[in-house]
Each structure stands twice: as C-alpha cells, then as structure tokens.
C-alpha cells in the first residue's frame, strides 16, 4: 500500500472555495470581493471595507448611513467587559486581554445562543464596533490613565485614536491608521482565519471562532510578527537624533549577524507570497507619511537597512507586519498593542469567513498518519 502524502502545515493544500478575498502570488495582488486592496485603501475607509466583506458589495449612501448609525451606537464597552478587563493585571499581555474580552463579549451578548444568519451579522457588527475600545482602554490602563468614552461624531479610525490617546488625531495620522486597518482586514485562509473556520465547522458560535482566531493570531509566525518587528528595532536601538544613513548601517550589521546565527527575523517572508507581499507598498507609503509627519528619518534608516540586508542575503521580502509595526510605534501605540490592532481589523475578515463557513458547512476534520508504537497491551 502506498503511503498517503503528508502536507506539513497544509502547505499548498486547497481546502475550500471562498468568495471573500483572492490572494494571487503570481500577479502579487489581493482582491476583497473583487476590488484591489490598494484601491480600497486609497479611496474607501474601514467602514466601507467591513460592509463590503460582510455583504459582498460596497454600501450605497443609505446603506452606509444605516451602518454608521449602528457602528457608532455600539462603540462603548459593556460594563461586564470593563469589569473583566479590570480583573486582569495591567501587565497582562494585550493579546490575552483581547482574547478574554472577546470571550466575555460573547458570553454576555443578548443573542449568545443564536447562530442564525441575522444573529451572526449582528454579532460581527457589534464586535467590530466595540473592539477598538478594548485596545484603547487596555493601552490607557497600562499607562495608569482613565478610560476615554467613544465619540459618535468621528469615523471608526478617528474615534479609535481618540479613545486611545484622549485627543483628536491629525488627518494624516487618521488616514495612515485607516489604511493599515483596510490592509489588515482580510487575507483568505491564513492560520487565524482557518482556525475560525474550523471552530465554526463544529457549529460553535461566532465569538468562540473569533476567540480561537485571536489565539492563532498571537504567535510570532502570524500576527505577533508586527510586535516582534518593533522588538527588533528596539534591540538595534532607536536613536531619534541619528541620521537615516547611520541607522541603516547599524541595522544592516544587525541583520547580517542575525542571519549568520540562523535567526528567523520576524516581519519577513510569507507562506503564499514569495516575491513580496501585495500590501507592503501601500503600507510602506503610509509609514513614509508618518516618518515625514513626525520627522523621524532614523526609523526609515532602520527599516531600509534591515530590508536591504535581508534581500541581499536571502532574497526574502518584508510582509505587511514589517511596515505596520514602526507605523504604529510612531503613532504612539505601545509595542504590545500592535497585534490587538491587527485583531481590530481582522475581526471583519474572520467573521465574514464564519458566515461563509456556516452557509456551506462541512465539519473540518483532516486525517493523520499514525507513527507511534505498534499495538501493545497492558499486562
């Protein structure tokens, strides 16, 4: 009998159809419901993209008005969620706080036991609306600051920054942040989305799927890479008064050492894209805008030094987490908050996949080839 072929990490395995996004490594493109992500990032905001991912079409004016009214009315954290967060030490990792908060949101949602299409849409929209307050509150309590209530006169991204920093962010910063949200929103069957689909396939509820997806996103090989990128910059040393050229020289030397000692450097490489991540040029432009806005050219030096050295040594290109990390740093987010920012955006993609899985479900249960001891018996 021939042994079945093992596909470690499910690499190259096509497990299902999806109409939500198309990742094309050959043309280096990414489409959300048919629209190139660069066009969405340039011309539409995160609210439009959330609506598109869930409904398959961009909203018209009336649909957008209705969507905004719902989203803005559900931004405040329920009391139980604040209480649950307060039970955790301020030193808890924000990904653990986020995972706990989503679980509490699920348990206390009025439609907790209802997995109907309508209930799932309502749960997805509620989670999208309220999750930014989890991130904002967590960053503030880590700094000993009080919760800032949401504002309903600001868009999603402007309000997110308002609740985090307690002041209105300049337009340039809101735009760069919104671009990052759009780019992070969806990416087909990545590890966390697949986790959400596996959980959904057992007929478990949407919040369970998102809670599990957060666990999968936390690791440094996936979403945790945006935090890890910043730790690399910190390890090299961020010197605000240094020239971009000097910073690049130090970064290049650091990368050469890291690769010589066979280190995996987070923020580089991708399972699907082999000649560069389709989202990086758009996110790099947003980073450039922030470097210019904050007058921090040494960050560009560190960025370019690492990128060039990796390319020269291994030909491996940056992924989205690479430009996103320093962008969030410049905006003033704590490094540990970066992956929760990824969650805020990806809630839209995950929940779109939950609904797609429900609509055409089959229990996800692959096979394995046993290679343990031969049958034996207890004496």
| Sheet architecture: strand order including 35-36 | 21-24, 29-32, 35-36
Collapsing DSSP to helix, strand or coil, 27 comes out as coil
**Rounded to an integer, what distance in angstroms lies between the CA atom of residue 154 and that of residue 71?**
11
Among residues 174, 181, 153, the alpha carbon closest in space to that of 283 is found at: 181
The nearest distance, CB 272 to ligand OAA, in angstroms, is 6
Applying CB under 6 A, does 287 fall inside the site for ligand ACO? no
* Residues lying near ligand OAA in the complex (CB under 6 A): 187, 190, 271-272, 319-320
Among residues 274, 264, 186, the alpha carbon closest in space to that of 221 is found at: 264
Query: Is residue 74 annotated as part of the catalytic site, yes or no?
Result: no
Nearer to ligand ACO, 7 or 239 (CB): 7
Q: Encoding tokens for residue 165?
A: 């920093």
Nearer to ligand OAA, 162 or 322 (CB): 322
Q: What share of the chain is helix, strand, coil (3-state, %, to 5)?
A: 60, 5, 35
Nearer to ligand OAA, 46 or 77 (CB): 46
The nearest distance, CB 35 to ligand OAA, in angstroms, is 17
Nearer to ligand ACO, 137 or 268 (CB): 268
Please, which residues have CB within 8 angstroms of residue 90's CB and are 6 or more apart in sequence?
Answer: 141, 142, 144
- The active-site residue, picked from 270, 277, 329, 353, is 270
Nearer to ligand OAA, 112 or 272 (CB): 272
For residue 198, the surrounding DSSP H or E stretch is helix 191-201
The nearest distance, CB 227 to ligand ACO, in angstroms, is 11
Q: Encoding tokens for residue 198?
A: 């596996």
Q: How far is CA 59 from CA 53, 161, 347, in A?
A: 11, 24, 19
**Please, which of residues 256-275 interact with ligand ACO by CB under 6 A?**
264-271
Please, which residues have CB within 8 angstroms of residue 331's CB and are 6 or more apart in sequence?
Answer: 161, 169, 173, 176, 177, 290
**Rounded to an integer, what distance in angstroms lies between the CA atom of residue 109 and that of residue 82?**
14
The one of ligand ACO, ligand OAA, none whose footprint includes residue 266, by CB under 5 to 8 A per kind, is ligand ACO
The one of ligand ACO, ligand OAA, none whose footprint includes residue 340, by CB under 5 to 8 A per kind, is none
Which residue is nearest to ligand ACO, using beta carbons?
A: 269
- Give yes or no for a contact between 226 and 328, defined as CB atoms under 8 angstroms apart: yes
Nearer to ligand ACO, 205 or 321 (CB): 321
- Out of 316, 332, 356, 364, which residue is the one contacting ligand ACO (CB under 6 A)? 316
String marking each residue 191-230 x if it binds ligand ACO according to CB under 6 A: ------------------------------xxx-x-----
The nearest distance, CB 67 to ligand ACO, in angstroms, is 26
Compute the C-alpha angle 7/12/17, nearest 5°.
115
Catalytic residues: 270, 321
Contacts with ligand ACO by CB under 6 A lie at 9, 221-223, 225, 264-271, 314, 316, 319-321
């Amino acid at each position: 009998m021939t042994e079945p072929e093992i596909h470690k990490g499910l690499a190259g395995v096509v497990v299902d159809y999806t109409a939500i996004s198309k990742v094309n490594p050959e043309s280096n493109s990414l489409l959300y419901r048919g629209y190139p992500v660069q066009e969405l990032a340039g011309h539409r905001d995160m609210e439009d993209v959330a609506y598109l991912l869930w409904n398959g079409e961009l909203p018209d004016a009336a649909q957008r008005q209705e969507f905004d009214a719902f989203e803005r009315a559900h931004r405040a954290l329920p009391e139980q969620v604040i209480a649950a967060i307060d039970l955790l030490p301020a030193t808890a990792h924000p990904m653990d706080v986020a995972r706990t908060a989503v679980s509490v949101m699920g348990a206390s949602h009025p439609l907790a036991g209802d997995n109907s299409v309508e209930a799932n849409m309502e749960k997805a929209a509620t989670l999208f609306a309220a999750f930014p307050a989890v991130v904002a509150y967590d960053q503030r309590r880590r700094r000993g600051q009080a919760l800032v209530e949401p504002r309903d006169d600001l868009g999603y991204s402007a309000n997110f920054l308002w609740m985090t920093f307690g002041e209105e962010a300049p337009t340039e910063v809101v735009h760069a942040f919104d671009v990052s949200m759009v780019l992070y929103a969806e990416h087909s069957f990545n590890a966390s989305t697949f986790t959400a689909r596996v959980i959904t396939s057992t007929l478990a509820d949407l919040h369970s799927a998102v809670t599990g997806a957060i666990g999968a996103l936390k690791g440094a090989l996936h979403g945790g890479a945006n935090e890890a990128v910043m730790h690399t910059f910190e390890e090299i040393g961020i010197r605000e008064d240094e020239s971009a050229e000097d910073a690049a020289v130090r970064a290049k030397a650091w990368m050469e050492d890291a690769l010589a000692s066979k280190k995996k450097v987070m923020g580089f490489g991708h399972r699907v894209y082999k000649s560069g991540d389709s989202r990086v040029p758009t996110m790099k432009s947003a980073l450039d805008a922030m470097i210019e806005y904050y007058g921090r050219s040494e960050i560009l030096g560190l960025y370019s030094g690492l990128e060039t050295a990796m390319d020269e040594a291994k030909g491996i290109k940056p992924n989205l987490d690479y430009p996103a990390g320093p962008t969030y740093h410049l905006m003033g987010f704590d490094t540990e908050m970066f992956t929760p920012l990824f969650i805020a955006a990806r809630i839209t993609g995950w929940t779109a996949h939950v609904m797609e899985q429900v609509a055409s479900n089959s229990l996800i249960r692959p096979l394995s080839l046993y290679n343990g001891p031969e049958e034996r018996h207890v004496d």
